Amino acid sequence: MRPLLPADPAAIGGNRLLGRLGSGGMGTVYLGRSPEGVLVAVKVIRADHGADPAFRARFRREAEAAGGLTGRWVVPVVAADPEAREPWLATPFVPGPSLAEAVGGYGPLPVRTVRILGVRLAEALSEVHAAGLIHRDVKPGNVLLAPDGPRLIDFGIARAAGATTLTAVDAVVGTPGYLAPELARAAGPVAGPASDVFSLGCVLAYAATGTGPFGGGHAAAVVFRTVHEEPELGSLPGELRESVGGCLLKEPADRPTLGELTALLGPDPGGAGPAAAADWLPAPLPRIIAERSTRALDLPAPEPTRIDAPEPARQLTRRRLLAAGGALVAAAAPVAWYTTRGPGGGRGTSGRDRNLPVLTLGLQADLTGPGRATGQAHERGMRLALDRHNARSDAAFRLALRVADDAGDPQRAAQAVKELIADPAVLAVTGPTWDAAVPVLADACLAADLTLLVVSADTPTNATTLWRTACVTRPNDEGLGLPVLHYLSKVRISRRTAVVEDAANGSPAWLVTRALQQSPPAQGSVSVHRVPGDGSDFSGTVRALTEAGAEGVVYAGTSPQRAGELARALADARFPGPRVGLQHAMEPAFLDSAGQAAEGWVFSSLYTDPPAVPAAAGFVAAHRSAYGEPPARWATEAYDAVGLVAAALAGLEGEGRDRAGLSRRIFRTAYEGLAKTVGFDPGTRALTGDPLAHLYRAESGRFRYLGRYTDVRTDP
């Protein structure tokens, strides 16, 4: 909880405000004391949202629906004003952490706690359903842990069963990873009680294992796995397999009812009475709840807020403060670029600048080894981002950079991260710039509670489960399949697609192969043609895929030279269809190996081309001025990583800008970068946001950027 800001009101609806519980793009949640002396959470919506009639109608419905619920395990609305300029509602204050916060910070819960959680949430949902409502967003962030049991909150998207949704046409309402498969498509069935049962099963799996049953990553990939794949329950304790597994069946009719689920979980293991309820949570959660309760009760009543500015100025100030300070920091579009660089590549500092605290970021990269181009791109992008931040007149702190070169060597990587961690000034580390070093850095940073920002390296699908402090701003390689699927389904139609899975370099892109097999382009068929790592007969591969009637070819490998050999073999066979590769092969070596056969190949990539992005014009100009050339691959994404960290640190005002604070705040921060909007699921810490992959085309000896894959509709 944070103190009130000068522009915050002193009271809302008779509730005296004591502090801020969180803030974000929708508005602010305050801790208040009701006229009766009861602590309440007051949720205030920004006026611009309240101006939307559809949103106001949904808010009115939330207040009315939640106000009619009286069960022990739900948090009712005790007061509301849906017609206010800034609509608000008040609920009893629950001092406990959310399930997402508890599991994310302290690990999975024991089986007994999960069973109690399941039984009591089933009871809460039974009351919701009995009132004719469907919750539709049961997830770890909407479950609070109180001393006597869980509390289900946030009926912001609840609606009467069978009612017409108030969301936009084609919108999918819910949270990927906890959304029932039948609701994953906008044209799917109307939400019913079985949909909430599925979501509850996902929540229980997360509580028991620390990860959702359908993994993390890009939202579209998570939804795809939810619809088409079986849940991953390998680490789920055996006592919970039948109950949780039943909830996660694809067909709604096959899932247990809430009553049947309660029977499967067994009688409430928490028993009855205060003594039995008090020990339902494992240490240290009861202590955390007690500390939060004590802090809330000890808060003095603040002095009335004084606002002397005229009304228009007050509104602007309030909006600015709302954006800067809360649970979800939604940073504004990048500020204008400042070009006042000194001869040493930095800015001069004013007297005010010299009085600001200096916070240090680390970069561990291959700067002199085989991957030095990527490492150099990271360093240049980060330095320019630091210059931009330090040039801001409203900066509350300055940023510095400490760089460690691991040369792409495992032993040097292990030593370099130790040196960065040993420097107490380093609050976060960006890196590594090569895949094999990820576990070494992630393990070391986790032990030090130090945020590790992974910008370009590939990570396991369960990275955020393995390493709580790993902030991955790039989808894993599975995300490369989405542009391929789009291109062959919407742009160059291929109903019979051949995937050439090449084991050269020991790492075929099997995630992409699997994605295309499970969701064939144009709803057609996929044949897989595997080439061993020591094989080189691509002409034989081309004969085989031609005999299979292939209309399009995907190179699922990582070798640019061998992709070029395949391109030549396809050209020799006069193959007329679309040919697609992945970013691993999109290198000059492919153009050299393929020659004229490279023309027209399309590539899926997870990095953008900054000169083609209007918002990045200032960054590109600054890069040219500083280094004599445009930004290289991954420079823009590294630049955005600094902006993300700066936004998270700004949100820690009053809470201590240290390693521990940043490693938690950064996953509650959204940042609108040049390459993409970076945000995270609060429960899984997985990357979310708008389309994060791109398409390029080989033309005239270079790779031309086509755009974000969802924007590509025609083949030039």
Check which CATH number belongs to the domain holding 333 and give it. Answer: 3.40.50.2300
Q: Which of 129-143, 410-424, 597-611 has the lowest mean pLDDT?
A: 129-143
In one letter, which amino acid is 206?
A: Y
Active-site choice (8, 48, 52, 137) = 137
Tell me the pLDDT band of 318, cut-offs 50, 70 and 90. very low
Residue 274 has pLDDT above 60, yes or no: no
Residue located via tokens 């291929």: 494
Bridging pattern class, strands 602-605 and 552-556: unpaired
Tell me the pLDDT band of 278, cut-offs 50, 70 and 90. low
**Mean pLDDT for all residues in the chain:** 83
Name the percent of the chain lying above pLDDT 90. 50
- Predicted confidence at residue 69, as pLDDT, reads 81
Specify the number of domains making up the chain.
3
Tell me the pLDDT band of 249, cut-offs 50, 70 and 90. very high
Residue 601 · residue 567 · CB < 8 Å: yes
Do residue 533 and residue 564 come from a single domain? yes
Do residue 529 and residue 500 come from a single domain? yes
Its domain, for residue 519, covers: 478-605+696-711
Do residue 491 and residue 461 come from a single domain? no
Please report whether residue 278 resides in a domain. yes
Do residue 467 and residue 561 come from a single domain? no
Residue 138 · residue 125 · CB < 8 Å: yes
Residue 307 has pLDDT above 60, yes or no: no
Please report whether residue 25 resides in a domain. no
Residue whose C-alpha is closest to residue 59's, from 42, 39, 45, 41: 45
Do residue 636 and residue 581 come from a single domain? no
Please report whether residue 594 resides in a domain. yes
Considering 267, 282, 297, which residue would you say is the last residue of a domain? Answer: 282
Residue 383 has pLDDT above 70, yes or no: yes
Assign residue 240 the CATH number of its domain: 1.10.510.10
Residue ranges in 343-406 assigned as alpha helix (H) = 351-354, 372-390
712: helix, strand or coil = coil
Do residue 164 and residue 232 come from a single domain? yes
From start to end of 83-216, where are the E strands?
88-92, 133-134, 143-146, 149-152, 159-160
- Predicted confidence at residue 205, as pLDDT, reads 97
- Predicted confidence at residue 575, as pLDDT, reads 96
Residue whose C-alpha is closest to residue 135's, from 77, 204, 200: 200
- Predicted confidence at residue 512, as pLDDT, reads 87
Residue located via tokens 């004969």: 543
Tell me the pLDDT band of 323, cut-offs 50, 70 and 90. very low
- Predicted confidence at residue 60, as pLDDT, reads 83
Do residue 521 and residue 596 come from a single domain? yes
Tokens of 514: 């699997």
Q: pLDDT tens digits for 604-619?
A: 999 999 998 888 999 9
Q: pLDDT tens digits for 657-668?
A: 889 889 989 998
- Predicted confidence at residue 582, as pLDDT, reads 95
N residues, the chain? 716
Tell me the pLDDT band of 549, cut-offs 50, 70 and 90. very high
Q: Mean of the pLDDT values across residues 147-170?
A: 55
Residue whose C-alpha is closest to residue 528's, from 543, 545, 551, 508: 545
C-alpha–C-alpha distance, residues 365 and 363, integer Å: 6
> Which H/E stretch holds residue 670?
strand 669-672
Residue 137: active-site member: yes
- Predicted confidence at residue 508, as pLDDT, reads 62
Considering the entire predicted model, what is its pTM? 0.55
Do residue 482 and residue 468 come from a single domain? no
Residue 343 has pLDDT above 80, yes or no: no
Do residue 435 and residue 503 come from a single domain? no
Q: Residue 697's CB: how many other CB atoms inside 10 A? A: 17
Do residue 239 and residue 145 come from a single domain? yes
C-alpha–C-alpha distance, residues 632 and 381, integer Å: 9
Please report whether residue 684 resides in a domain. no
Q: Which of 472-476, 496-500, 565-569 has the lowest mean pLDDT?
A: 472-476
Residue 170 has pLDDT above 60, yes or no: no
Please report whether residue 274 resides in a domain. yes
Residue 337 has pLDDT above 50, yes or no: no
Tokens of 311: 């009304």
- Predicted confidence at residue 366, as pLDDT, reads 95
Q: Regarding predicted confidence, which is higher, 537 or 637? A: 637
Please report whether residue 72 resides in a domain. no
139 is in an annotated binding site: no
Do residue 581 and residue 636 come from a single domain? no
Please report whether residue 17 resides in a domain. no
- Predicted confidence at residue 75, as pLDDT, reads 87
Residue 416 has pLDDT above 70, yes or no: yes
17: helix, strand or coil = strand
Please report whether residue 673 resides in a domain. no
Q: Regarding predicted confidence, which is higher, 605 or 37? A: 605
Do residue 458 and residue 576 come from a single domain? no
